[in-house]
Amino acid sequence: MIALSILGLIIVLVLDFFDEKYSYHDILVEFHGLIFDLLIFGILLTIYETIKSKNDNITRYKEEINDYKFWENEEAMFRTRGLIKRLYDLNAKNIDLSHCYLASDNSFSTYDNMKNWKFSGANLSNTMFMMSTLENAQFYSTNLKEATFVQVNLTNCSFCSAILYKTNFEKCIFTNVDISNSVVYEKNWFELLESKENIGISLLKEQFELKPNLINDIEVYRIIRKTKPTHNNS
């Protein structure tokens, strides 16, 4: 390849030598064009490599998180926490933390945008979410025992079958939230939500009700969706 390049250069120089209209100005013009082409190509190549590297890292970090799912130990928690931080810094979307062990992890309070994240089946007991948006997040069958949500936008979130034992909600937005079949331990759970200035609780009370239940001989309350009354037309 190098030999062909040298041969081509020699041929060009020879032809230029015998060209009566040859001018060094022509070389200068072509040189400027070459520099411009290289600059544009270099910028485009740099942008492409940056985007590709970012996407490759996001894919790799998500795959590593999958490797730690269902591991309930501190090592898995710390490694997963580090991977979440890297993904967040890369502005990754739709992070899937289903079945991850993240108990007592308060690092979520440092993230302000967790739209469409998936926490289904995860252990989030004693965690904290603060001043953030969790729109469309999934908490299906999630352990949220003694977790805390403060000023969090929970619009369109699903807490179906979640464990909400002593889960603290303060000044949160409950617009279009699904809490079907979730478990709470307070008979006056809706009233507690209202007392802590959460938004949208009156509509939840219209859609859901508490039913006493026994789990391991402990009295709890399961939240079920109210059945709509049927109207008989005579």
Q: Which pLDDT tens digit goes with each residue over 208-225?
A: 999 988 777 778 899 999
Is 115 found in the same domain as 198? yes
Is 38 found in the same domain as 127? no
Is 112 found in the same domain as 45? no
pTM comes to: 0.77
pLDDT of residue 56: 86
- φ/ψ of residue 199, rounded to 5: -100, 135
In this predicted model, what pLDDT tens digit does every residue of 6-65 receive, in sequence order? Answer: 554 455 555 455 555 545 555 544 544 555 555 666 666 677 677 777 888 899 999 999
Sign, CA dihedral 49-53-59-63, equals: positive
Is residue 110 included in any domain, yes or no? yes
Is the pLDDT confidence value at 234 over 60? no
Is the pLDDT confidence value at 145 over 60? yes
Is residue 12 included in any domain, yes or no? no
Is residue 181 included in any domain, yes or no? yes
Range of the domain at 51: 27-93
Percent over 70 (pLDDT), the chain: 77
Is residue 118 included in any domain, yes or no? yes
Is 111 found in the same domain as 84? no
d(CA 170, CA 130): 10
Most confident region among 13-17, 37-41, 67-71, 170-174 by mean pLDDT: 170-174
d(CA 7, CA 139): 68
Is the pLDDT confidence value at 118 over 50? yes
Is 106 found in the same domain as 42? no
**Which of 69, 93, 117 is where one domain is finished?**
93
Work out how many domains the chain is built from and give that number.
Answer: 2
Give the H or E element holding residue 47.
helix 24-68
d(CA 117, CA 113): 9
Please give the structure tokens belonging to residue 186. 């307070």
Cβ neighbors of 172 (< 8 A, separation 6 or more) are 149, 150, 151, 152, 153, 154, 198, 199
Q: What is the mean pLDDT of residues 154-159?
A: 97
**Which of 93, 116, 139 is where one domain is finished?**
93
Is residue 230 included in any domain, yes or no? no
Closest CA to 146 of 169, 168, 175, 129: 168
Is 109 found in the same domain as 60? no
Is 208 found in the same domain as 113? yes
pLDDT of residue 50: 74
Residue 115 sits in a domain of what CATH number?
A: 2.160.20.80
Percent over 90 (pLDDT), the chain: 62
Sheet containing 128-133: give its strands across. 128-133, 148-153, 168-170
Is 198 found in the same domain as 130? yes
Is 203 found in the same domain as 128? yes
Is 111 found in the same domain as 47? no
**Which of 76, 93, 110 is where one domain is finished?**
93
Is 164 found in the same domain as 217? yes
